[in-house]
Amino acid sequence: MILLFGYGDDPSLALVRQAARDDGAEVLVVDQRDIDDVDLRIDDMVASAGFFAVGGARVPLSRIDAVYARPLAARTRPDPLATARGRVLADLVVEWLDVAPGRIVNRPGAMSSNASKPYQAQVLAECGFTVPETLVTNVPDEVRAFAARHGAVVFKSTSGVRSIVRKLDAAALTRLNHVRVLPTQFQECVSGVDVRVHVIGAEVFATEITSTAVDYRYAGRDGATCALRAVALEDELAARCVQLAQVLDLPFAGIDLRRTPDGEVVCFEVNPMPGYSFYEANTAQPISAALVRHLRGAEG
């Protein structure tokens, strides 16, 4: 049995749910929205002794062979007790996922590598990827010197919390003193074409993104264009992406690359919980089906 945990209106979770049903897999969906109809009891985490109660039916944890989880912060409800209960449920599931047997996509402990972008950049370099020259600082003069050295510079959060990548333009420079209270990551601006690589076990799906936006994820909001197409990676690069995901202990990973005009490949980061629906919808790549194959242990 495959457990799907998260919000039922999450597009990525919904795609896996449909792909699993198309594949004939037995699926248990635990929707965080339906907290009133969900209960969880764990008597022994390591042994997975306990059960989910969903809609009045009990499912022993021992029946769950694989998990695809996209747990999100519990949504605030009118009833504060229900809100608190939702948070406890999510926390308990996350704790269980780190020790549960079977195929877990992905274990929370492994996903923590994305909590520090500077740390993750060191792992990228150790796996043979070129990474942009980076400065993490809360000293404005260091930023100005970095910008003078590189010319075009972008900045973003150092943590795993999603942030919009922006250029360090004249307007941003007027707010530079704000970094004194919030250390920020600055990087040389690398020109080229973005490539998002989804690694699932040993399978690789690459998407080339052509966009006029600094951060193509927000192209529409910024009035910019964005076009996606499926591409095939060179065997060596694909193997290196698989190796990187394995080093990070991420069965499912979203790797952000950029191919420069001279053919060099630069790696920015690895997303340990990729919301891949955007890429599948625009390229028809069977990412969902590959994820279900992995969860069922049916790769190859």
- pLDDT over 60 (residue 300): no
Q: Could you tell me if 244 and 129 are in contact, meaning their C-beta atoms sit under 8 angstroms apart?
A: yes
The mean of the pLDDT values for the chain is 91
Report CA-CA distances (Å) from 250 to 77, 104, 181: 33, 9, 33
Instruction: State the Cα torsion 227-277-218-106 to the nearest 10°.
Output: -130
Asked if 178 and 248 sit in the same domain, the reply is no
Strand order in the sheet with 153-156: 134-137, 184-188, 153-156, 166-167
CA distance 6 to 54: 14
Residue 123 is assigned to a structural domain of this protein: no
Structure tokens given for 198? 């989804």
State the total domains in the chain.
Answer: 3
Single out the residue in 89, 105, 121 at which a domain terminates. Answer: 105
Write down the pLDDT at residue 55. Answer: 85
Single out the residue in 162, 188, 214 at which a domain terminates. Answer: 188
Q: What is the mean pLDDT of residues 258-262?
A: 95
Cβ neighbors of 75 (< 8 A, separation 6 or more) are: 32, 33, 83, 86
Structural domain for 280, as ranges = 191-296
Asked if 30 and 45 sit in the same domain, the reply is yes
Residue 77 is assigned to a structural domain of this protein: yes
Asked if 152 and 200 sit in the same domain, the reply is no
Write down the pLDDT at residue 36. Answer: 82
- pLDDT over 60 (residue 268): yes
Asked if 26 and 94 sit in the same domain, the reply is yes
